[in-house]
A = this chain, B = another copy of it.
Amino acid sequence: MAGRKVLIIYAHQEPRSLNGSLKNLAVEELSKQGCNVTISDLYAMQFEPRATRNDIIGSLHNSEHFDYGVESWEAYKRRCLASDLIEEQRKVQEAELVIFQFPLYWFSMPAIMKGWMDRVLVQGFAHNFPQCYDDGLLKNKLALLSFTTGGDEEMFSKGGVSGDIRYLLWPMQHGIMHFCGFKVLAPQICFAPEYVSEEKRKEMLTSWAQRLKTIWEEKPINCTPEWYFK
């Protein structure tokens, strides 16, 4: 939709990977629609994942006892957060849709992307108790996880060794995205691209491109325990 702003948080080391292609395709398709697409290419940016004292410019709120949650909240209010965080927060603030594109590492996102969550989504900016979940500060935005897996669909089924794929979505979709108020769109999952044919990988790209054509008409999922564990 013309004029809409999209942010893609992208975490893959290799531009020629399927993740890289999925990211490029999203840029292409959304730009064709007239959307304004911004990318945070975390590895290329050498994004810092560690939540440390370096994220607070100048003196601390409590120099006796370092508490990252408290210090980043105070620094957000005093506008003393590190510049890379302020820049990422600006991108999120402007976006109507945030897409997270990554390979699943250990039933979750790679550490470099987890660090983006830990450092960017600070109190005051993304939530501010009791402003969380449906009242989270990013509540007028959409978010979507788009990822590739190592295991195949059968492994990630209810009776499979790795359990229903929805089980592992809970901490990311409910604990992070929903907590901050995001309306969560259904995840885009490419199962085991390393073990399928070139043709099947092309289908994965095509179906993502196809979905993006009508992405703005999608209804968010109902982010309740039932969606995940029923």
Residues of B within 8 A of A69 (CB): 150
| Cα distance A199–B114 in the bound complex, in angstroms | 34
Query: Which residues of A in the span 87-124 have a Cβ within 8 Å of any Cβ on B?
Result: 105-108, 110-112, 114-115, 117-119, 121
A156 to chain B, nearest CB (A): 10
Nearest opposing residue in chain B for A108, CB measure: B171
A177 to chain B, nearest CB (A): 10
| Cα distance A46–B13 in the bound complex, in angstroms | 21
Residues of B within 8 A of A16 (CB): 64-65
Given A114-B114, A170-B168, A107-B176 contact (CB < 8 Å): yes
| Cα distance A162–B127 in the bound complex, in angstroms | 14
A-B contact pairs, 28 of them (CB 8 A): A14-B65, A14-B67, A17-B65, A43-B52, A49-B111, A49-B112, A49-B114, A50-B112, A105-B118, A106-B118, A107-B176, A108-B114, A111-B111, A111-B115, A111-B118, A111-B119, A112-B115, A114-B114, A115-B115, A133-B161, A158-B225, A163-B170, A167-B167, A167-B228, A168-B171, A168-B175, A170-B170, A229-B229
Partner-B contacts on A (CB < 8 A): 13-14, 16-17, 43, 46, 49-53, 64-69, 105-108, 110-112, 114-115, 117-119, 121, 132-133, 150, 158, 161-164, 167-168, 170-172, 174-176, 179, 194, 225, 228-229
